[in-house]
């Protein structure tokens, strides 16, 4: 995977975190070995150890309030049917 794509995926995760939390000072950095870490602001101590891309994205996506899952009308109706079938 190209380095640019890796950085874009990691920075997109940080952008999502900024939108969820309203904290615009989060900063991502990349080590010479290609690992990523997150800080509350540029130059601040890291909030995590340097991580591989997938681990970093999972870590960042797990921070802050989580977005509500969207449920379609069909999904809601199906859930109601399941509840009714479980009741005697």
Given a cut of 70, whether residue 88 has pLDDT beyond it is no
Where residue 18 falls among pLDDT bands split at 50, 70, 90? very high
pLDDT at 28: 93
Long-range CB contact pairs, 13-19, < 8 A, 24+: 13/56, 13/57, 13/60, 13/61, 14/38, 14/60, 16/60, 16/61, 17/60, 17/61, 17/63, 17/64
What is the per-residue pLDDT across 22-64, written as a single tens digit (0 to 9) for each? 999 999 999 999 999 999 988 899 999 999 999 999 999 998 8
pLDDT at 43: 86
What is the per-residue pLDDT across 70-80, written as a single tens digit (0 to 9) for each? 888 888 888 88
């Amino acid at each position: 995977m190209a380095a640019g794509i890796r950085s874009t995926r990691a920075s997109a995760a940080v952008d999502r975190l900024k939108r969820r939390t309203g904290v615009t000072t989060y900063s991502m950095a990349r080590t010479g070995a290609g690992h990523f870490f997150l800080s509350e602001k540029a130059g601040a101590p890291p909030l995590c150890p340097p991580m591989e891309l997938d681990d970093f994205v999972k870590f960042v996506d797990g921070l802050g309030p989580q977005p509500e899952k969207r449920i379609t009308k069909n999904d809601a109706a199906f859930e109601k049917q399941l509840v009714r079938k479980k009741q005697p």
